[in-house]
Amino acid sequence: MSGTHLEEWQRRSFDILSGTCTPEQKADAYRAHILSIQYAWATSQLSLAGMGSLLRTYSERYAAVLDSDDPHTGLNNYAESALHLARSQRNHSDKWESSLSAESVLQISSVQWMIQAGTGGDGVTVATADLNIPVG
């Protein structure tokens, strides 16, 4: 890394470790670390193995800040209303009614076409020579 990038890296690392930055600032610092790692790899200043290791480490730390529901350490990336809905979810499947029946399915045009194709009716649009071609 160049001197300027290294100084920025050190400043961000100190800000994170000092414990004085807000979760938003910490997330921004980790995001900047990730961008620096990508830049260093793109400009051949960092090996593929080094990039992989650093990217994994800082991506995990960034995700931990985003996903933490503790307001002092994280951003709680999940909307509270969505979490509330998930916690009090109810399943009323015993009250569900389907409008499908054997008779109504047979009235669907694509089902009728498949039945005709399967029985050798006039609906077959595939040449007889192509019927036994293995797929996969």
Q: What is the pLDDT of residue 7?
A: 86
Report the distance separating Cα 106 and Cα 87, nearest Å: 40
Whether 105 is covered by a domain: the verdict is no
For residues 12-25, average pLDDT: 88
Q: Give the torsion through C-alpha atoms of 71, 75, 77, 80, to 10 deg.
A: 30
Whether 118 is covered by a domain: the verdict is no
- The pLDDT > 90 percentage for the chain reads 21
Q: State the pTM of this model.
A: 0.54
Report the distance separating Cα 16 and Cα 123, nearest Å: 69
Mean pLDDT, the chain, integer: 80
Whether 44 is covered by a domain: the verdict is yes
Whether 40 is covered by a domain: the verdict is yes
Whether 53 is covered by a domain: the verdict is yes
Asked if the model's pLDDT at residue 95 lies above 60, the reply is: yes
More confident residue, 25 or 127: 25
Whether 135 is covered by a domain: the verdict is no
Whether 93 is covered by a domain: the verdict is no
**What's the start-to-end Cα distance of the chain, in Å?**
49
Task: Give tens-digit pLDDT for 47-56.
Answer: 999 999 999 9
Find the domain containing 62 and state its range.
Answer: 3-78
Report the distance separating Cα 28 and Cα 30, nearest Å: 6
What total number of domains does the chain contain? 1
